[in-house]
Amino acid sequence: MALSKQVFPGDVQDIQVPVIAQHYLVCGTEDCKKNCQFYCNSCHQPLCEQCRDEHHIIPENKNHEVVPYRQRIRKLHVEKCKDHPTKDIDMICENCQVAVCSKCLIKYHRGHTFDDLESIYSKNFTMCLDKIYNINQYYLPTSQDIKRDIKEDVLKLKAFMDKIRTSIKAEAESVKRLVEKAMSDNLEQANEMEETLLEKLQSQDKAYDEYNGFLEILVKEFQDYLSYDKVQNNPILLSLSEVLNIKPIPKSTEPVYPVFTAGQYSKNDVAKLLGTVTVPTTKPASRKIKPMNITSTQLKPTRKLKEADGDELEVNQKLSLSSTAKSVREYIVPGVDCVYHISVGKSGILWASDRGGNLVQTDLQGKQLQMIKTSGRDDGYHTVSLDGNLIFADRTNCSVHSIIHGKTITRFIKTKEWVPLSIHTSSLNGDILVGIRTFLKGKVARYNKTGKEIQSLERDNKVQELYSEYPHYITENINGDICVSDFNKQAVIVVNKIGQHRFSYTGQESKIRPFGICTDILGHILVCDINSKTVHLLDQDGQFLSLLVTSQKGIKTPRGVCVDGDNNLHVGDGDTNTVIVYKYLQ
C-alpha cells in the first residue's frame, strides 16, 4: 500500500497553527480518494472505512492498531544513533532522560526503565497542539478582549475627566460671578460714601463763599466810613463799636475718609469655594477574566442558551449527527422569486430574500408577515440581532440599517467607500460582522452594538489578502471563528476571533462555489455549493464530513441555509421560493 503525499492535521507542518484543514482528509491507500476517518498506528497510514476493513483482512496486518483519526499516534522522524549508526533511536531512558537505541539500552542503561519514544513523542506533540489551540482560542482572544476593554476605559476616562474639568470651570464661573457681585456692591457703597462726604464739603465751601462775600461788603463799608467828608452824622463817630463788629469765621470739619479693609483669604480658602479633585481611596476592582472552557482540541464545545427570562443556562451538548438528513417539512415564501438567504429570528420568525432585493418576514409555515424592498442581491445581506430586530445592508448607500420592532428603519453603520455584501450578528456578544468590498478588495469589519467599528480583517499573518472582492456570505461559529463564503476565491475562509487564519476549505473532489453558510450548536459548518448543487457539512476544524443535502434529497439548487432554535436546517432553493427543513442532528 502506497502512502499519498497529503499533509494531515497534526503533522510537523501544522505546528504553527493548532488545527489545519486544507480541503479534506483523503485515504492514504493508493488510488482511493475517499474521506479519511481512521488511522493505522502501526504503519502510519490514513484509511477510509472501506480500506480499514480491507486493511485488517491482510494477515500481516492482523495485529495492527487502527484507531479513529483523531486518536492516532504521530509518526516519529527516523533518526540514527550516533554510537550505533545501523540502529534507530526509538526508546527513551526515564532514569537518564535521554533518547537511545536498542544497543545503547543494553550497553549503557542496563536495569533502567524505558518507554517507547514514539508514544511519548505523539503524546507530547498532541499536548503542544492543545496548548497552541488553547492559546489561540482562549488566551489570545481573552487578552485582546481585555486590551479592548482598556482602550474603552481610556476613552471613558477622558470623557469622565472632561466632565470634571467642565464642572471645575462652571464652579469657577459661579465664584467669579459672586466675586463680581460683591465687588459691585463694595464699589456702590464707596460711591455713596464719596457722594455724602462731597456734599458735606461742598456745603462747607458754600458757607465760606457766603462769609467771604460778607467780608468784602464789610471792607467796602469801612472804606466808605473813612472817606466820609462830613463830621455830622458820620457813623464812625457815632457808633464805632457796632460798625467794627465782624462775624466770626464759620467753623468746618475735616472729612473722615473711609477705610478699606482687605479680605483675609488664602489659596486654600479659594480652593474650598471652587471644590477639589481627589482620588478615591477605594481599591480598584480586578478585571474579570472569563474562565477557560477549552481544555483540548478533542473536546466537544458547550454553548450557553438564554431562557425567556434572560438567565443563562449552560447546556452540555448531547446531540450528534444522524446517519442521514431527513426532510421533515417544506414551505413556500410568498413575495420572493427564489430563496438566496435566510435569517432566523425569535419565536419561529424568519426573514428570506431573493436576488431581486425582496426581503420577506415569514413564520415557520411560510405565512408572510412583512415585506420590504432593499438593494440586496444574491448575498447574505441580512441578519437578526439578539433583540429580534432585523439588520440589513444597503449596497446603494454603503450603510447598514436596522428595523426596530418591525417599524422604524434606522441607519446606524456607514461603511464609507466600502460596499456591504454580507452581515451576521454574533450570538456570543451581539457584535455585527459585515463582509464588505471596494475595487478589487474585500474584508470583514466588526462593529459593536452602537455601530462603532472595532475590528478590521483584511490580511493574514503573512500579510496576504484573506478575501477577494466578494465575501458575500458570513457567519460565526460557537468558538468565535469567523467563516466567510468567498465566491471569487472559491473557498470558505475561516479565521479565529482575533483574525488569525485557521483554514480555507475549497471543496472535496472539485472546487466549490460557496453561497449560503451557517453553523450549528455543535460547531459544524454548513455551506451551499452551487457547482455540485449540494450542502457540504464540515466539522469545526474544516474537515469534510459529508454531503448533507443533495439534489436527490429535495432541493435542486441550494442557495441559503440557516439552523433554527430547534436545530433544524432550513435550505432555500435558488430557482424557486421553496424552503425545505431537514433534521440532521439526533
Per-residue pLDDT reduced to its tens digit, 352-387: 999 999 999 988 778 888 899 999 989 999 999 888
How far is the CA of 69 from the CAs of 75, 213, 537, in angstroms? 13, 134, 18
Give the pairing of strands 312-315 and 303-306.
antiparallel
Closest CA to 134 of 331, 298, 356: 298
Specify the pLDDT at position 293: 64
Give residue 330's identity as a one-letter amino acid code: E
Give the C-alpha separation, 135 to 297, whole Å: 12
Give the C-alpha separation, 389 to 71, whole Å: 44
| DSSP code per residue over 73-89 | PPPPPP-B-SSSTTSB-
Give the pairing of strands 578-585 and 568-573.
antiparallel
- pTM, two decimals, is 0.56
Specify the pLDDT at position 22: 38
How far is the CA of 267 from the CAs of 156, 275, 277, in angstroms? 31, 12, 15
C-alpha cell at 413: 453603520
Q: List, in order, residues 6 or more apart from 558 with CB less than 8 Å away.
A: 515, 516, 528, 533, 534, 535, 549, 571, 572, 573, 574
How far is the CA of 496 from the CAs of 18, 79, 144, 476, 540, in angstroms? 11, 36, 12, 9, 11
Give the C-alpha separation, 76 to 99, whole Å: 12
Computed on alpha carbons and rounded to an integer, the radius of gyration of the chain in Å comes to 47
Specify the pLDDT at position 394: 93
Q: Which residues pair with 394 in a beta bridge?
A: 399
Max CA separation in the chain (angstroms): 186
pLDDT in tens, the chain (586 residues): 333 333 333 443 333 333 333 345 778 888 887 778 788 888 888 888 888 888 888 888 888 888 887 778 877 778 888 888 888 888 888 888 888 888 888 888 888 888 888 888 888 888 887 888 788 878 888 888 888 889 889 999 999 999 999 988 988 898 899 889 989 999 999 999 999 999 999 999 999 999 999 899 888 888 877 777 766 666 666 666 666 678 889 898 898 988 888 888 888 888 888 888 888 888 888 888 878 765 444 433 334 434 333 333 344 345 777 767 888 989 999 999 999 999 987 767 889 999 999 999 988 778 888 899 999 989 999 999 888 889 999 999 999 999 877 677 888 899 989 999 999 999 888 899 999 999 889 999 999 988 899 999 998 877 789 999 999 999 999 889 999 999 999 999 999 988 889 999 998 878 899 999 999 998 999 999 999 899 999 999 888 888 888 877 678 899 999 999 889 999 999 999 999 999 998 8
Give the pairing of strands 534-538 and 525-529.
antiparallel
